[in-house]
Chains A and B, each alone.
Chain A
Amino acid sequence: MVGHLLVRPLYFLQIMESIITAQHTFKASKGRLINPGDLIFKNLTRFFAALILVLVVLMAYEMIRTSALSWNKFGFNFFIRSVWDPVQDEYGALPFIYGTLVSSLLSIVIAVPLSLGIAVFLTEVAPRWLERPVSFFVEMLAGIPSIVYGVWGFFVMVPWLRSTVEPFISKHLGFIPLFRGAPYGVGMLAAGIILSIMILPIIASISRDVLKAVPRSQTEAALALGSTRWQATRIALAYSRSGIFGAVILGLGRAIGETMAVTMVIGNRPTISASLFEPGYTMASVLANEFTEATSEMYISALVEIALTLFIITIIINSFARLLMWSVTSNERAQKA
C-alpha cells in the first residue's frame, strides 16, 4: 500500500478528491462568471448569518450600556461586596456569585458520575434494543421545561429532603460543617440536586457520542492484551477524556444559567453559609425575583450588571467547551483521513 502511494502519487489524489467532495462546498473560482441569482441568494443568506453576529454584539452592548451606572459607582467592589440594599441603593453581588458557584459545582459533583455511568451503559453494556429507549428517556429529561422541574422540586423533592434526607444526613454526618444546620428542605442541596438532574442529559449524551467515536482498534487492542471489558472501557474513557471534559464544562455552563427550577428550591436568601442545608441565592434567581420590582435606575443597573456577568461567564465557559470539543472532532477527522 505504501509502495503504491510512492509509485503512484495520483493515488493520493483520489483520496483527496473523496475527502474534498465529502464536504459540501461549492465555490466558484476567482474571476469566473457567477449567476446573478446565485449572487443575490448567497449574499442574502450571508446577511442573515451576519445578523447573528450582530445580535451577540448588540446583546453585550445593551447590557454594558445599561449597567454602566452601577459599574461606575461600585467598580470591581460590586463582585466582592455582600450588601444588597435596594432602599439605600447599595449593591454587591458576592452572595449571588457564591450561590451560583456552589449550586452548580454541587450539581456537577452529582451529575458527572451518573452521566458517565449512563454513557458507558449506552455504549458498552446496553443491547441494541435497550439503547434506543434509554437514549430517548435521557433526551426526555432534557426536554422537560425548567418550570416543571421547579414545580416538582418545590412540591415533591423539597418536602422529602426536609422530612427524610436532611435529618438523616445531619444525624450521621452532622460533624461535617457542610451538613450542619436546620433541615429547611429548600437550600443549596435542593438546588444542586435539581440542577444535576437537569444537566445530566447534556453530559450523558455528549459523552456517549464521544465514547462512540473512540476507534474500535483502541478497545480491541486492550482486549487482545487480555484485559477485561471494564479495563478496555477505561482505556476508551481515557482516550476521550477531553471530549468528556468539554461535555462537563457545557453542563456547568447550563447549571450556572438555570433559573426557574433553582429559584423555586434554593430559598432565595442572600447569605453565604458553609452548610449545604442553608438557603442561598443565585445570580439567575435574583434576576428572576427582583427585576419586576426594580424601580430605581441604580437598582436596574445593578441587576443588569449581574446579567452581564452571567453573560460573560457563560460565553467564556461555552467558548472553552466548544473549542475543546471542536478540537476533539477535528482530531478524529484527521485520524480517519
Chain B
Amino acid sequence: MRDYPGTRQTLIDIDTIPEKGKGVPVDHNKIVAENVSAFFGKVQAIRDIQISIPENSIVAIIGPSGCGKSTFLRSINRMHELVHGTRITGKILLDGEDVYSIDPVLIRKKIGMVFQKPNPFPTMSIFDNVAAGLRMGGTHDRKNIAEIVERSLQQAALWNEVKDSLSKSGVGLSGGQQQRLCIARALAVNPEVILMDEPASALDPIATAKIEELLFELKKRYTIVIVTHNMQQAARVSDYTAFFYMGELIEYDVTKKIFTAPSMKQTEDYVTGRFG
C-alpha cells in the first residue's frame, strides 16, 4: 500500500481504460482514479479503485449501503480528508493533474458538490446563497454577481420559481427547490465537474423527476458523478455505471450493459435485487 505523496507512480495514459471498466468508449477522461484507497482510522473504506470518468457524461455509482461509494465521491473533491483520522492513498487526476497536489480550495472550486440533504445557508437569502461561493471566493463586482446568479438559477431550472423572491430566505423553499438552489449555488462557482451524493434521496418523486431532467441539461456543460441508492435512477440518468461492493469497484461499464448483461455475478445479483 502506497501512502500518498510518498511515492509517485509514473503517469499512466489517461485514456487507458482500467481493466474493470472495459468497453467504455472514451474521448477524453475528465477524472482518472488510480489505485485509490481511503481509510477511516484503521478501517479501509475503499480499496484500489481504478476508474476513468469521461468528460460531459453522467457516471452513476451504485452499490449497497456502506460499499464506499460516498467515500469515493468525497475523495474526488478532497472532502474525505476533512474528517478526523482519515487517510487516502493513490492518485486522483483531474485533467491529468493530481488533485492531491493542489490546494483543496482550488480543487473544490473546479469540482462542485451537491449533498444528500439540501443545505442552503439559513442566514442568507436565495440570492446570497447562490452568490456565496463567488463572494467568498473574492468576486465583488455586483453586476457580474447578479448575472451569474441569474444564469445559475436558470441552469438549475429554479429561476422562474424564485425570481420574485430572491431576497427571501432559502430555508422557506420546498425540499426540491432547496436542492435545486444548492445545485445553482454549486454552478455559480463555475465548476467543471459536479459530484452529487444521492441528491434526490430526500425528495418526493416529482421533485426527483425535476432533478433528473436537470441532469440531462447539465451534462452538456459539466461532467457529473452521481452516487445513488436508486437503481432505476441510475438506469434512467447515467451514461456509465459503476458498481461498488464492500469497498471495491466490481464492475464499470455503459449503463445499459450493467443493467442488462453484467459480466460479474455480484453485479447481476445486485441489479436484479437479489441482495442489497
Interface residues of A, Cβ cutoff 8 Å to B: 8, 10-14, 16-17, 20-21, 23, 25-29, 31-33, 35
Question: How far is B85's CA from A10's CA once the two chains are assembled, in angstroms?
Answer: 17
- Check A16/B43 contact, CB under 8 A, given A11-B65, A31-B5, A33-B103: yes
Q: Which chain B residue lies CB-closest to A30? A: B87
Question: How far is B100's CA from A11's CA once the two chains are assembled, in angstroms?
Answer: 28
Q: Which chain A residue lies CB-closest to B70? A: A17
Question: How far is B85's CA from A113's CA once the two chains are assembled, in angstroms?
Answer: 45
Question: How far is B224's CA from A162's CA once the two chains are assembled, in angstroms?
Answer: 82
Task: Say yes or no: A25 contacts B83, CB within 8 Å.
Answer: yes
- Check: B86 CB closer than 8 A to any chain A CB: yes
Cβ contacts B247-271/A at 8 Å (1 or 0 each): 1000000000000000000000000
Q: Which chain B residue lies CB-closest to A33? A: B103
- Check A23/B40 contact, CB under 8 A, given A11-B65, A31-B5: no
Task: Say yes or no: A20 contacts B103, CB within 8 Å.
Answer: no
- Check A8/B85 contact, CB under 8 A, given A33-B103, A33-B104, A35-B105: no
Distance in Å: Cβ of B267 to nearest Cβ of chain A:
17
Question: How far is B83's CA from A26's CA once the two chains are assembled, in angstroms?
Answer: 6
Task: Say yes or no: A10 contacts B67, CB within 8 Å.
Answer: yes
Distance in Å: Cβ of B88 to nearest Cβ of chain A:
8
Residues of B within 8 A of A21 (CB): 83
Choice from B82, B84, B88, B247 contacting A10 with Cβ under 8 Å: B247
Q: Which chain A residue lies CB-closest to B88? A: A29
- Check: B81 CB closer than 8 A to any chain A CB: yes
Residues of A within 8 A of B101 (CB): 33
Task: Say yes or no: B43 contacts A27, CB within 8 Å.
Answer: no
Distance in Å: Cβ of B178 to nearest Cβ of chain A:
21
Task: Say yes or no: A13 contacts B66, CB within 8 Å.
Answer: yes
Residues of A within 8 A of B102 (CB): 33
Task: Say yes or no: A20 contacts B85, CB within 8 Å.
Answer: yes
Choice from A14, A17, A23, A28 contacting B81 with Cβ under 8 Å: A28
Residues of B within 8 A of A32 (CB): 81, 100, 104
Residues of B within 8 A of A26 (CB): 82-84
- Check: B71 CB closer than 8 A to any chain A CB: yes
Question: How far is B87's CA from A42's CA once the two chains are assembled, in angstroms?
Answer: 21
Distance in Å: Cβ of B156 to nearest Cβ of chain A:
26
